Structure 1
Amino acid sequence: MGKPLDPPLGTNSLSVRDNRTGMTFSVPIVDNSISATDFKTMSAPRAPGEPEENETEKGLRVSDKGFLNTAVLRSEITFIDGDAGVLRYRGYPIEQLAVQSSHLETAYLLIYGSLPSKAQFQVFHDEVMHHSVIHSDAEQFFRSFRYDAHPMAMMTTALAYLGSYYSEANPSLQGQNLFTRGDAASLAIMDKQIYRLIGKATTLAAMAYRVRQGREFVTPPTGLSYTGSFLYQMDHLGQENYAPNPVLEKALDVLFLLHADHELNASATTVLQTGSSLVDPFSAVAAGCASLYGPLHGGANEAVIRMLISIGKPENVPAFIEAVKKREKVLSGFGHRVYKTSDPRSFIVRKTADEVFKITGRDDLLDTAMALHDAAMKDEYFIKRKLAPNVDFWSGLIYRAMGFPNDYFPVLFAVPRVVGWLAHWRQMMLQSGGVKIWRPRQIYVGPGKRDYVPVDERIAVEGPKKTPSAVEHSGISKRTGLASFKGQHAKL
């Protein structure tokens, strides 16, 4: 509703004057935010010649391409101050957790809201590790992939595949309020799926690794840590009393902790978008894994290594820097969508890298990485654009030093991020007021209403992006196209 007078200064509201109509509106400010739906009251008559698709009479829409400044929910999980380089899980600085906590303890914190007591953590730890074992049918499932399948393709598919085993966790079968009731029975079912997904994430990831190696799969061992069990499942070849190197085990745990959550990034948002339809959590997490697969997200650390390999030697760095400035080359591992100064995780990863290199040896790419780091940090072009190294710049070097293949890096991101996805999914399922399916608005700018034209009367529309691309066929497709058979004559 329009109001004739503006509220006095100091009022927690925003006054908006619609110059189309002369109406003034007062929009409440809550937690330094305004509700986008309040703008729906700001309607106006359609101007002469204005497309009806603008829906001017139905109120204003808020345009925010790429969600640059749109809050879609209220959250208690992760806080990021990109200008100050701050990252906190449930209020705890990431620097403290990385030194004093563990990945599984931090998982408990992210999901349930507080650090656990010794007894609480023991229950959580034991359940997660107990549920790491996977059905024997999964062996056949993984063997069905091509020998050169990308491990993230296997991981994404396997997470969705898990959901086929647990009908009790499917709201489509058990009722749409299965996870939203909030009673003891509902919470117990929810927790069991959380144990399953966190526990089996390492098992699925190890199976994706082993199938690429042509090796038999390993049953999750007992008595090892979360990351220790993961390394065991990837590397054990029958040796007696096999134990992963403790430095590598600890380093991987720190990296898992740092990657566990990062607020509403692309993959977490995908999990929530998918989960808002009240699909089972396995399908929602698989959707998040697919989102993480992209080179702008989970594939960034792999892109860093490929970039460093392409640079080659430190003496080639100046030429690469100039090519980046000319936009002839892409700089990976610098800058961040949120952080405008430095990524707080990068300092922790750098320290972890030093510890790993002490036992693995110095990677040949490290000198190139250091030269690129030093050159970029001193160059006005990068300083002005606030392109500081992020967590991906150093984590890829650690994974490489530990012997992981480049295309496995995104999997090492996905395994710990399952925790963050589940924390946000659980929070949404239990939020006050229930779950509403996410349905963003669009601004339609296509053609107005037009009538169907019969095919013989149409004028072909040509030009780039206007017609399908032609595909050049070879091999059997080419020969078949030249053959004759019923319905087709040979082309001479």
Structure 2
Amino acid sequence: MAVIKEQPNPQESITVTDNRTGKTVTIPITNNSIPATAFTALKAPTTAGKRQEDDLGNGIRVYDPGFMNTAAIKSRITYIDGDAGELRHRGYPIEQLAERSTYLETAYLLIYGHLPDASQSKIWEYEVMHHTFLSEDLTSLLRSMRYDSHPMSIFITAFSSLSAYHPEANPSLAGQNLYTTSPELLNKQVIRALGKSSTIAALSLRIRMNRPAIAPRADLTYTENLLYMMDALSPADPYRPDPRLAKALDTLFILHADHEMNCSTAAMVHVGSSRVDPYSAIAAAASALYGPLHGGANEAVIRMLQRIGSVDRVPAFLEGVKKKKELLFGFGHRVYRNTDPRSTIIRKVAEEVFSILGRDPDGLIEIAQALRDAALKDPYFVERKLYPNVDYWSGLIYKTMGFPLDFFPVLFAVPRVSGWLAHWKQNLEEGTGKIWRPRQVYVGEGRRDYVELGEREARKVEDSREGVRELPHYQSRRRGPRGGVPAKL
């Protein structure tokens, strides 16, 4: 009910008065939030001069472009305190998990809500590592993609295809309540997705390098196996990755495993609310991550440092940032108003990797350090709370480890699969069961009548966003433009 007559604790509520009608509603506050549907009680009469499209009779809609202050779910998974710079998974501080846990254990924690005991841990790791293999026909399908395909395109294609390889796990074939009535089947898909994501990632890099696929090894750790599949020369190669680098990558995976309701996670839950299979939902989430404003941040940091070029050009670059002539990547965060807690951890990982592999020959590490030091001393950036975030150092680590820039988003996607699955599973078990369907505020044309083609006035198209214009056709000059007489030589 939107109107609350009896309030056990009146202080835990807000009272809203609609000045158009004088109507007042009292809305309970729970967990410092109020239900948006309460505003539907504030209906206004439809009178002359009012737009039909404003839908006055169905109450007020809450307009929040970009979801700046809208909570779409209740979650038990990840907590972020942006002001204090705190990040916890299921209550555990990220600092403790990064130091003492492993990625697979953290994945279990995110998905099932508690740390596994010794027996559960052994079974969990065994099952994930024995579901890393891809079928030959799926591998062939992916290898048919162009050698210069972006690795994220291959990653997305692979997951969108997986549902075709597991029809028994497809609610469109086996029933829409499949995952709410069969937890065993749900758990199997979770294990499959986690195991296969690393193999898909490695294969996307092998395709990019025009190298044959390397089968996974279940006797290695999760990140050791990933590095092995990327770097082994052949199945007979006795190569084993440096355990220190595997540990560094494992820590990075813990830091990237989940970060609450970000763009890709919201996409996972939104698409999953239709009851589609988890592989298709992961493909949608990965597509969101593919966008340069989300998964491309660490790549943007590297390109920024390359553009700066040398330590002595850092001051001029920062002046350009202040004058809005340059973009500063890797500083600040939409959620954190203080230091990103992950950045402190990742800085230690960076030093470990640099000590093993040496400094980047392009001098980017020195530029990054100079840029960080200068920004942290400059009142302009300090007052705006622009501190280095996790993306600032992760890109440098990946580049030092020899990963190409276009592979960075894949290294983000692989660990984030666990977070996506955790939120997908939670919404199945604790959500409303309804498909997500955001409202809109319509500000377009009112009703108008159709005009026949011959009766329409000619329009001069000046807006380049309007697509009605001739496009270049890349055909042989023998055919000429649009297939007509050849152009004069």
Shorter-chain TM-score range: over 0.9
Tell me by how many angstroms 1:262 deviates.
Answer: 0.3
Q: CA deviation at 1:211?
A: 1.1
SS in structure 1 opposite 2:261? coil
Residue of 232, 244, 248 corresponding to 1:236: 232
What is the correspondence of 1:186-201 to structure 2 with a 5 Å cutoff? 186-201=182-197
The aligned residue for residue 180 of structure 2 is 180
Mapped to 1, the partners of 2:159 and 2:109 lie a distance apart of: 23
Cα gap change, 1:478 to 1:380, in 2 (>3 Å): farther
* 1:109-156 CA-partner distances (Å, limit 9, x unpaired): 000000010100111111100100110112311221111111011111
- Does the 8 A contact of 2:298 with 2:395 survive in 1? yes
Distance 2:349 2:78 in 1: 23
Q: Which moved more, 1:3-12 or 1:357-366?
A: 3-12
Alignment of 1:355-374 (within 5 A): 355-363=352-360, 364-374=363-373
Shift of 1:353: 0.2
1:430 is paired with a residue whose SS is: helix
CA distance in 2, matches of 1:439, 1:2: 20
TM-superposed CA distance for 1:380, in Å, is: 2.1
Residue from 328, 331, 344 that aligns with 2:328: 331
Superposed CA deviations along residues 296-322 of structure 1, whole A, max 9, x for unmatched, are 111111111111111110111112112
1:226 aligns with 2:222: yes
Is 1:272 paired with 2:269? yes
Match of 1:444 in 2: 442
- Paired residue secondary structure (2:24): strand
The 8 Å contact of residues 40 and 60 in structure 2, kept in 1 or not, is answered as yes
Shift of 1:48: 4.1
Cα distance, 1:490 vs structure 2? 6.3
Where 1:467 maps in the other structure, the secondary structure is coil
Q: Aligned in 2, Cα 1:85/1:219: closer, same or farther, shift over 3 Å?
A: same
CA displacement at 1:106 relative to structure 2? 0.4
Check whether the contact 2:331–2:388 (CA below 8 A) recurs between aligned residues.
yes
Paired with 1:425 and 1:396, the residues of 2 have a C-alpha distance of 28
Q: Deviations over 1:312-371 (max 9, x none)?
A: 101111121122222222211111111111110000000000000001001120011011
Determine the structure 2 residue equivalent to 1:476: 475
8 Å CA contact 1:4–1:23 kept in 2: the answer is no
* Matching residue's letter, 2:20: R
- Superposition CA RMSD, Å: 2.0
Shifted more, 5-14 versus 251-260: the winner is: 5-14
Q: 1:446 to 1:461 in 2, by over 3 A?
A: farther
Displacement of 1:10 in angstroms is: 4.2
Cα distance in 1 for residues equivalent to 2:213 and 2:473: 38
CA distance in 1, matches of 2:468, 2:477: 17
CA contact (8 A) 1:103 1:253 kept: yes
Q: Contact 1:483–1:490 (CA<8 Å) still a contact in 2?
A: no
Q: Which amino acid aligns with 2:213?
A: F
Give 1:466 deviation, angstroms.
5.9
Cα contact 2:4–2:27 (8 A) shared by 1: no
What are the ranges of 5 or more consecutive residues in structure 1 without an aligned counterpart? none
Amino acid at match of 1:108: Y
Cα pair distance change 1:3/1:247, threshold 3 Å: closer
Deviations 1:357-414 (A, max 9, x none): 0010011200110111112112222222221111000000000010100110000000
Pair 1:21-2:21 in alignment:
yes
Q: CA distance change for structure 1 residues 369 and 145 in 2, over 3 Å: closer, same or farther?
A: same
* Structure 1 counterpart of 2:381: 382
> Relative to 1, partners in 2 of residues 1:479 and 1:36: Cα closer, same or farther, differing over 3 Å?
farther
CA contact (8 A) 2:2 2:27 kept: no
| AA of the residue aligned to 1:312 | G
Corresponding residue of 2:250: 253
Cα pair 1:2 1:24 within 8 Å, conserved: no
Name the structure 1 match of 2:349.
352
Q: Residues 467 and 75 (structure 1 numbering): CA distance in 2 closer, same or farther, change over 3 Å?
A: same
The answer for the alignment partner of 2:418 in structure 1 is 419
SS at structure 2 position matched to 1:27: strand
In 2, Cα distance between equivalents of 1:349 and 1:374: 17
Partner of 1:283: 280
Is the contact between residue 131 and residue 195 of structure 1 (CA under 8 Å) also seen in structure 2? yes
Q: Is 1:391 aligned with 2:390? A: yes
Q: What letter matches 1:51 in structure 2? A: R
Q: Tell me by how many angstroms 1:204 deviates.
A: 0.3
Q: CA deviation at 1:46?
A: 3.0
User: Residue 69 of structure 1 aligns with which residue?
Assistant: 69
**Does the 8 A contact of 2:479 with 2:485 survive in 1?**
no
Q: Render the CA deviation track for 1:59-96: whole Å, top value 9, x for unaligned.
A: 00000111111111111000001111010000000000
Retained in 2: the 8 A contact 1:3–1:25? yes
Aligned to 1:52: 52
Alpha carbons 1:110, 1:423 under 8 Å: kept? yes
Matching residue's letter, 1:438:
W
Are 1:321 and 2:318 matched, yes or no? yes
Q: Percent identity?
A: 54
TM-score w.r.t. the length of structure 1 is 0.94
Q: Which residue of 2 aligns with 1:410?
A: 409
SS at match of 1:374: helix
Instruction: Give the number of aligned pairs.
Output: 484
Decide whether the 8 Å contact of 2:2 with 2:39 is kept in 1. Answer: no
1:4 and 1:24 in contact (8 A); partners too: no
Conserved 8 A contact 2:160-2:283: yes
Alpha-carbon distance in 1 for matches of 2:329, 2:472: 35
How far apart are the structure 2 equivalents of 1:85 and 1:146?
A: 43
1:481, distance to aligned residue in structure 2 (A): 4.5
Q: Post-superposition shift, 1:216?
A: 1.2
Corresponding residue of 2:120: 120
**Alpha carbons of structure 1 residues 16 and 174: separation in structure 2 relative to 1, 3 Å:** same
1:42 alignment counterpart: 42
2:267 aligned with 1:263: no
CA contact (8 A) 2:375 2:381 kept: yes
SS in 1 for 2:67: coil
Which residue does the alignment assign to 1:93? 93
Q: Secondary structure at the match of 1:188?
A: helix
Tell me, in whole angstroms, the C-alpha distance in 2 between the residues paired with 1:69 and 1:376: 29
Which among 297, 300, 303 is matched to residue 303 of structure 1? 300
Code of the aligned partner of 1:346: S
Structure 2 distance, partners of 1:188, 1:7, is: 43
Q: Decide which moves more: 78-87 or 459-468.
A: 459-468
Distance 1:477 1:329, change over 3 A: farther
CA distance in structure 1 between the aligned counterparts of 2:487 and 2:157, rounded to whole angstroms: 42
| 1:151 partner amino acid | P
Question: Aligned pair in 2 of structure 1 residues 325, 236: CA closer, same or farther (>3 Å)?
Answer: same
Give 3-state SS (helix, strand or coil) of 1:476's partner.
coil
Give the Å deviation of 1:489.
Answer: 6.1
Q: Distance in 2 between matches of 1:311 and 1:319?
A: 9
